[in-house]
Amino acid sequence: MNQIKSDKQKRLEYTVGDRFVSIRRGEDFSPELIFRCGQCFRWEREPLREADEDAEGVWTGVAMGRVLTLAERGDRIEFRCSEMEFREIWYGYFDFDRDYAALRRRISADPFTARAAAFGKGIRILRQDPWEALCTFILSQCNNIARIKSIVERFCECFGEPRVHMGKRVYLFPAPERIAALDARDLEPLRAGYRAAYLLHAAEEAASGRLPLAALACGTTAEAVRALTALKGVGVKVANCVALFGLGKTDAFPVDVWIRRALDAHYGGKEFDSTVFGGDAGIAQQYIFHYIRHLDSRHLSSRHLNDTKKETA
């Protein structure tokens, strides 16, 4: 028997079923956009099994020391976990406290961001583990998403704790203490190149407590960026990604070459002031990023198209 619950303080209504929790799909929860907009690297679309043939999409991800499968079924999203796990882990991870419809309205005063927000309806910013965000965005430099994902998977397979999920072996993201105990040769199988040394250094700093990742979430964005850029191989762009995706700092505004290009094109060469979006700046950035990546035909390389076909087949 399904039981409908709602948390008035928390604005989300959900239904508790047999071994799953489900929410209404609404307009601001698109797994495709959330998992493919470049903020995370460990969520994959599953091939549909017989039991899921009425589902439109099934996704499995490893995050926060857990493995979760979720399914898009009609107008609902099913989270295949207990209610307790949903409330304690996934509610925060998927940023359910935030009203994305209201946020899209707020940033739509500007015509360019209005188009981006309409196009990217369904995106949410995940509140990821800060250590995982730090590692994955260190690996992201001068790299494409496919390759980042494969390096991250090798990293987890080599050093993460194994779990069995739906008959398959998966690996949790390795803790900084585990990585800090390694040396450069141990990381060679990752084929991460010069980024491997940055990972080792970050692990040593995090494991020793010199880099207090959890505490950075409580301070200001400027303090977090300052602490992160003190690490080897972490510049302003990567630090802002970690602040936005790992520390919940929604005013952090990572500027990469794509965002740079978009801002130059749409704000007439004037220096763009991200603070006009206040605490929404980082999320506005994600809508812009997603929008321009899909506008730009150069991005649609044959490899990208093939990947898309394979994954949606």
Partner DNA sequence: GGGCAGGCATCGA
Partner DNA sequence: TCGATGCCTGCC
Q: Give the catalytic positions in this structure.
A: 237
Contact range with DNA by CB under 7 A, out of 3-11, 73-81, 188-196, 264-272 = 188-196
Q: Which two tokens stand for residue 65?
A: 């020391």
d(CA 218, CA 236): 19
Burial of 231: CB neighbours in 10 Å, binned 0-12, 13-18, 19+: buried
Give the residue with the Cβ less far from DNA, 237 or 249: 237
Give the span between the Cα atoms of 298 and 312, in whole angstroms: 21
Are 69 and 60 spatial neighbours (Cβ–Cβ below 8 Å)? yes
Closer of 162 and 193 to DNA (Cβ): 193
| CB 284 to DNA: min, Å | 14
What does the per-residue mask of binding to DNA show for 281-310, with x meaning CB under 7 A? --------x-----------xxx-------
Q: Specify the residue, 19 or 310, whose C-beta has the smaller distance to DNA.
A: 310
108 binds DNA (CB under 7 A): no
Contacting DNA within 115-134 (CB under 7 A): none
Report the amino acid identity of residue 212.
P
Q: Alpha-carbon dihedral of residues 284, 285, 291, 296, nearest 10 degrees?
A: 160
188 is a site residue for DNA (CB under 7 A): yes
- Considering only the stretches 46-54, 67-75, 207-215, 234-242, report the one whose residues sit in contact with DNA under the rule CB under 7 A: 234-242
Exactly one of 25, 233, 266, 272 binds DNA (CB under 7 A); which one? 233
Query: Residue from 30, 237, 247, 292 that binds DNA (CB under 7 A)?
Result: 237
Helices in the chain by DSSP H: which ranges? 31-36, 83-85, 91-93, 100-106, 111-119, 130-139, 145-159, 176-180, 195-208, 213-216, 221-229, 236-246, 257-266, 281-295, 302-312
The residues binding DNA (CB under 7 A) are 38-39, 140-147, 188, 191-195, 229, 231-239, 241, 254, 256-258, 289, 301-303
